[in-house]
Structure 1
Amino acid sequence: MGACTNTENCMTTPQSRWASGLAASALMLGGVTFAAGGSVAHAAPGDSCQDPATVSVFEFNDFHGRIAGAAGLFTPVEAARAALGPDNVLLVSTGDNIGGSTFESFIDDDNPTIDIMKAAGVEAIAAGNHEFDKGFTDLSERVIPRMGVPHLSANVYTKGTTTVAAPLEEYKVFEKGGVRIAYVGAVTGDLPSLVSPAGISAIEAGDPVDAVNRVADKIVAENAADIIIAGFHEGAPDPTRTPAENAALSPAFKEIYEGLSPAFDVVFNGHTHQIYDWETTLAKPLMQAGQYAEHLSKVDLKINTQTKELCSSVTSIVDAAAGADIGTQPRIEEIKTIAAAAKANADVLGAVPVGFANQAISTPGDGGSGTRNVESPMSNAVAQMFKEQLQTADNADSFIGVQNPGGTRASFDRGTVTYKEAAGVLPFANSLMTTQLTGKQVKMMLEQQWQLNKDGEVPSRPYLALGLSDNVSYTFDESRARLDRITSISIDGAPIEMDKLYTLGSGSFLIAGGDNFFAFNDGVNMRDSGRVDLEAWVDWVGAGDALSPDYSKRGVSAPTIPGSLTEGAAPVEYVFGKPLANGVQVDTLDMLLNATGANVSPQVMNANITAYIGDEMVGMGEVTAGVGTVQVALAKGTAVEAGNNVVDFVVEESGTVISVPVTVKLLPPVTTPPARPVDVYTTPGYHKVNGREWITSCEKYSITERCRTYIYGTDVQSINGQIVKRNGWLFNNLTYKPSPRSAWKNNPLGYAGSWTSTEGRKWMTECDNARTGRNACRSYIETKVVESIKQADGTFRYAMATKFVFNNIVQFKK
């Protein structure tokens, strides 16, 4: 098991050691995985043999029903079988072949994938968590018998025992190249949180590394095999980092990287959908082949024919064949036939239109399911569906829809949404269920987005961003201690009540506490709606108007949240979002989608943030690079009532509403009127004058101080020939505070006349008349505006016109 110990036949040469080191260092430069097609030599203590036998071991992982790519994936395997002979090729998987599948496989209960695995001659599978999606009974009584391929899970036991749950097996031994090769399998220890707990109630999962090490000891003690390979449905989270850095990020990967028995000769990974060709700390090959029928891990084992021991190995990541390179061998032809029949069946069932999308509605990243640490229009849409499909008149004011991001598997492009596209979003056939949590338990649910498994360890994906219905708003501070990062929660614009019961609706997976959201285990009054998610989803997609992406975020980073506002006091600063960093959470106000494509929602970047208490605007600010800063103040004479209030921060263009509790303190009533009216143009702050609302801010200018004023009103614009009205804060003018007239002698804003700027804009200035008053000038700029024209029948029409529009006021000292 491992090193070749016969010194006569296993001689170490400086050249082979040097070559191995060069390949490894060149391909790992900077911690970045090499491109598919490269190779790395791994030497045993004796790394050369006389007349060695070669056995090629192929591994794939996370196939997820990608039957369209199956012929290409298995073509390199069939080519090796033809060249070396079937007895010198071993084909294994590290799981997740079914579940999370494309429509062609999903619509037929993944039977096409099961049949393709059998046709391809897969010899053993280290079961993944998705093999258990429909419960252990489905795996044991349907999947395994139909496929006829051993499924290995050395760490899955009959509940209450240490006996591997049949028909699962610990390992399988294969005769290849005249030696016995054992393949030992284990599923991620997070299995209980990744599938519906109800479906695996008869089994339990133990530590995967402890399990495979136990099996390795047994194989060695019984001399049951010559070479031992481990297959883990678990892996590293970030291939752009070194293995050691990944070990620091993921305790589960750390165990694999550092804790394996030296009896293992090769280690395959899965689950995290990454590509890498590394070594363990014991210098054993450590590989993962990506996802979705795109790549294979390949290890060419050089075996001493006399001692039956491993001399050396060469590892590589092999691309699936594409196009004309796909083979014509009998197995490949059978795979093509199965895939074609499945597609024909799915085309008929999936072509039915069920709705329409005005724009693409997507998950993050490329529109698939790999990015789960940020909110997305699609996951929030699914959560909204749960709310609208499951709420009743009795709980409508306290209902929350919630979706785990891993349950949202695909996106819609713009245009007609077919049944196939709808099914691709929710492929797991979860039952729709409700449960009730207290406000305190809802807070814990949100805290558990920063993941810990049942053993208190951080899993491979350390943060999962829940999708939530649009009546939920919360803030968080990631710098705070774990389980104390949620700083405010509002439901329907009101602060959450910690002792009140709220009804939550989702799929059965999450309601059962899946994905480590253990807060659901404390719920009461759990109810099964009797509906399946796909049926409810199709109904929702087809109901009402066409769908559009909702860019409003439910959770927003807020490092500090001031708790009180005082009438007439200096403004209080609120900051939401923080710049992008290398942490696990993306904290900007912009819902970053990070990709382009037909099925990716167009990126929307925010620009403004406005604060309201009730109907009163109390602050306005800008959003820069996803960070919104706003000064909030209560003007003297505010209509806001004293006591507990909520500040609603409205973010444009996304429509995000951040509802934050605040205590308002008012000044004693003023009994004497001010000496003179407030000059809204030169007094900073929020003002109400003659029924209009104004906001003014002032800044230094080269000649004097100038103040920028906005007025709340209706803006009418012509966009692509359509008249669009928008209520909001509109720029009104710049006012320059009094300064000597002589200071403006060279600036046309300070004397009457007409002029053209260097950019070609036309201006007009008037001074000292009835409109300006003495000792002042007003400037106007020529621009296109939309005019409202009254017609003979009393109705109005709109027309474009070029006019001079008021822009500046310059005041002079008397």
Structure 2
Amino acid sequence: MKKRQFLTVLAAPVMAFSLYQADSVQADTNFDAVNMSATELMIDQEIMQEKGNGKVHNNDEITRNEVKKMLERADEMDGLNPKDIFFSDSSNKGKGANPNEPITKVDMAKVFTLAMNDGEKPDVDLEVLNNFNDTDSIPAEAKPYVAYATLAGAFDISFEDEFNPTEPMSREEVAESFKPLVFDVIDILSTNDIHGNIEQDTEYEQGGMALVGGIIEDFRSVNEEGTVVVDGGDTMQGTLISNSFDGLSTIETLNDIGYDAGAIGNHEFDWGVDVLQDRLEDANYPILGANIFEEETGERPEWAEPYTMVEIDGYKLGIIGFATTETPETTLSTHVEGLEFPTPAPIAEELTAELKEQGADMVMVTSHLPGWHEETTDEIMGELADLAGAENGGLDALVGGHSHERVAGHINDIPVVEADEYTNAIGHIQFFVDRDSKEIYDSEVGMLETYSHLAGEDESVREIVEYYQGEVEEITSEVVSTTEGPITRDRMYGDLGVSQLGNMITDAMRERADTDIAFQNSGGIRNNISAGEITYGDVFEVLPFDNYNVTADMTGEQIKEILEGPAEDDSNFMQIQFSGMNVVYDPSQADGERVSSIELWDGTPVYTEGESNDETFSVVTNNFLSTGSGDGYYTFGEVEWDSDPDFQRELFADYLRDIRDRGETINPDDAFDDRLIEE
């Protein structure tokens, strides 16, 4: 099985706060608990006692007898036999251990589980233990206890790390394990940018909604009343198995899992508002858009619910949903005409107060607001960070989306998370809540991996997926061509330039439209193609959006503006794919002056020596870009476009079929040519 490689810092679902410069939650918390270690928190709760001279020794090993006393102080000895505290499957082959010996992790797992589970041996999925590299070193009779304790929050789920079952525990580690015993635990599990990927990625044995459902069910098996499941938007658009049914197949899987809320992503508008409304009605959970307003009335449309309230384990949790402010630029503009998407922060403040008036004990956001970790500082950036940074104590957690990044950390003492894309991970936020005051004393945030060996699948979700697979199998399985190696969307010069897929797609567009030049937005190319046979299903995943060719004549000056980028921002330079011309650029020049030469493939100059050709040139692009608002390429909006009935994925599939019919295979290296040259 192949495994994708990620930064270790984001691999575990519950991470040490120091990795993110993270603190305990500040909003609606006990402020005295902020920045406390777990040991200090347990001393504050009178579960642990200070050692001599009032000092706290976090790293001292802790004995079984001390753990017994802690359980008594926490009123967690009911159903527990004192002998349970002194057993040892690991060191003494079950014969018992000296009460003054340090307690090991495997023994703490049993103590914790019996205390949480009314003295009963748990019935729990053991596959969660496969997150650890040393699963085989955990005694078989102890595995149910370790699995339960891990899912319940006593131990971190550290992917591809070691559990070390016989390792003595420090005071701080025991204090961490006691938090679910002392406080109520609320597990917030989140997905985002599913983009119709309800099937498992067979190459990596990863993801798919059946596995997502299985992982969620594992958490519910230990915390049924305290588990909340939300989605951050862009749920439906992106795969043949979803798009063929306008997203209904995807919504049915989330319904079956029992999501509590979702957010409206920009691609929820790709089939128009009417289809979106149909899917909102099909969903058994509210899909929210608090910052969607009608320009004419200044009111939210009836279908844009701002928030919902859910009951969890005796608490009321308000959930607000937000769309990204980038929605008008990142979906077909005609589908959101008449709508506006203002900045969420002032709306969040207003709605949080409204929810608190309705009795909410805590308030969170699920959203399509993007975030990312800045490369050098690891600081969280983007709209997700902007909202968290603007908070003044009202919100308790934020879930994001849109950027397809792995984000986990605390901003302004608020836990924030965004879980990759395509069900490659699940976001996980934990609240530790005081049972009497209903204050959040602590929070942790991180990522759950979704490899197939880490959980069982939800059978009913798998049946839904299999039904829709049968509906589309004949279409997806057609072999349209063969490639000798992977064909990727990776850009030629790191963050800028053309790609193998971009070159091939724009070549196909230009040939079909018989124009001088073709342009394609890089963001519209959604997946790579693996080596070997290329199926129509692969083509669909590369070009899932229902975009089609449009043609017009453009001036040399306009063509240069497109290549320079849509705005005065270095990051926008040469972010577009093109065909039909050779372009020379100098990265050392100022913004807007980097392109030094543009020449058609027949030798006709378009731009040379600082001058544009006075002639016009025939251009084909897609209807998303032609509006002038797509990805901010406003220059495209200066001309009148003629529509062509050719969908991009269909003409690209035909392009590949022609290669197949000629008896040829694709060499991806040939896709890179001299159309873009760096001086």
Whether 2:432 is the aligned partner of 1:407: answer no
* Counterpart Cα distance in 2 of 1:49 and 1:73: 24
Whether 2:36 is the aligned partner of 1:15: answer no
Secondary structure of 2:255's match?
helix
Distance 1:35 1:12, change over 3 A: closer
Conserved in 1, the CA contact under 8 Å of 2:195 and 2:237? yes
Out of 201, 208, 230, the position equivalent to 2:365 is: 230
The one-letter code of the counterpart of 2:241 is: E
Distance 1:161 1:553, change over 3 A: farther
Distance 1:448 1:337, change over 3 A: same
Out of 468, 472, 476, the position equivalent to 1:350 is: 476
Shift of 1:350: 1.7
Conserved in 2, the CA contact under 8 Å of 1:269 and 1:287? yes
Out of 243, 253, 256, the position equivalent to 1:106 is: 243
Whether 2:66 is the aligned partner of 1:66: answer no
* Counterpart Cα distance in 1 of 2:258 and 2:406: 23
Secondary structure of 1:375's match?
strand
Whether 2:638 is the aligned partner of 1:495: answer no
* Counterpart Cα distance in 1 of 2:273 and 2:43: 47
1:786-801 to structure 2, matched below 5 A, reads none
Whether 2:30 is the aligned partner of 1:2: answer no
Secondary structure of 1:144's match?
helix
Whether 2:386 is the aligned partner of 1:255: answer yes
1:163-202 to structure 2, matched below 5 A, reads 163-202=299-338
Whether 2:509 is the aligned partner of 1:386: answer yes
Secondary structure of 2:465's match?
helix
Secondary structure of 1:3's match?
coil
Greater fraction of residues in helix? 2
Out of 399, 409, 421, the position equivalent to 1:278 is: 409
1:289-688 to structure 2, matched below 5 A, reads 289-320=419-450, 322-323=452-453, 325-327=455-457, 332-357=458-483, 359-364=485-490, 373-391=496-514, 396=515, 399-448=516-565, 465-469=575-579, 471-492=580-601, 493-496=603-606, 497-513=612-628, 514-524=630-640, 526-543=641-658, 545=662, 546=664, 547-549=666-668, 550-557=671-678, 576=679
Conserved in 1, the CA contact under 8 Å of 2:28 and 2:362? no
Shift of 1:553: 4.5
1:745-756 to structure 2, matched below 5 A, reads none
Secondary structure of 2:538's match?
helix
Whether 2:241 is the aligned partner of 1:216: answer no
Distance 1:176 1:129, change over 3 A: same
Distance 1:215 1:475, change over 3 A: farther
Out of 242, 247, 251, the position equivalent to 2:377 is: 242
Conserved in 2, the CA contact under 8 Å of 1:213 and 1:260? yes
Shift of 1:253: 5.0
* Counterpart Cα distance in 1 of 2:159 and 2:194: 17
| Runs of 4+ in structure 1 over 6 Å off | 9-14, 17-20, 47-50
Secondary structure of 1:543's match?
helix
Alignment match, 1:730: none
Whether 2:202 is the aligned partner of 1:92: answer no
Whether 2:276 is the aligned partner of 1:139: answer yes
Shift of 1:223: 4.5
The one-letter code of the counterpart of 1:119 is: D
CA offsets 1:429-471 (integer angstroms, 9 cap, x no match)? 212212332221111111225676xxxxx9xx755621111x2
Alignment match, 1:75: 214
Shift of 1:263: 0.8
Shift of 1:5: 5.0
Distance 1:237 1:324, change over 3 A: closer
CA offsets 1:92-138 (integer angstroms, 9 cap, x no match)? 0111211123x333344333212111111111112222222222222
The one-letter code of the counterpart of 2:672 is: Y
Distance 1:307 1:257, change over 3 A: closer
Distance 1:314 1:5, change over 3 A: closer
CA offsets 1:476-517 (integer angstroms, 9 cap, x no match)? 333433333322222232321444332321221122231111
Conserved in 2, the CA contact under 8 Å of 1:185 and 1:212? no
Conserved in 1, the CA contact under 8 Å of 2:556 and 2:614? yes
Distance 1:403 1:50, change over 3 A: closer
Conserved in 1, the CA contact under 8 Å of 2:503 and 2:672? no
Distance 1:268 1:360, change over 3 A: closer
Greater fraction of residues in strand? 1
The one-letter code of the counterpart of 1:505 is: V
Alignment match, 2:254: 117
The one-letter code of the counterpart of 1:187 is: A
* Counterpart Cα distance in 2 of 1:290 and 1:436: 40
Alignment match, 2:135: none
Alignment match, 1:642: none
Alignment match, 2:265: 128
The TM-score with structure 1 as length reference comes to 0.57
* Counterpart Cα distance in 1 of 2:181 and 2:245: 51
Shift of 1:209: 3.2
* Counterpart Cα distance in 2 of 1:77 and 1:50: 21
Secondary structure of 2:472's match?
helix
The one-letter code of the counterpart of 2:586 is: D
Q: Select the structure with the greater relative contact order (CA < 8 A; seq sep ≥ 6).
A: 2
Distance 1:15 1:418, change over 3 A: closer
The TM-score with structure 2 as length reference comes to 0.68
* Counterpart Cα distance in 1 of 2:378 and 2:198: 31
Secondary structure of 2:489's match?
coil
Alignment match, 2:298: 162
Shift of 1:389: 0.8
The one-letter code of the counterpart of 1:521 is: G
Q: Which runs of 5+ in 1 are unaligned?
A: 24-33, 42-46, 453-457, 558-575, 577-814
The one-letter code of the counterpart of 1:432 is: N
Mark the structure with the bigger radius of gyration.
Answer: 1
Distance 1:285 1:104, change over 3 A: same
| Larger CA deviation: 252-261 vs 89-98 | 252-261
Secondary structure of 1:467's match?
strand
Distance 1:49 1:158, change over 3 A: same
* Counterpart Cα distance in 2 of 1:485 and 1:321: 44
Shift of 1:381: 1.0
CA RMSD of aligned residues (A): 3.4
* Counterpart Cα distance in 2 of 1:79 and 1:388: 52
How many residues get paired? 508
Distance 1:230 1:552, change over 3 A: same
Distance 1:275 1:49, change over 3 A: closer
Distance 1:372 1:171, change over 3 A: farther
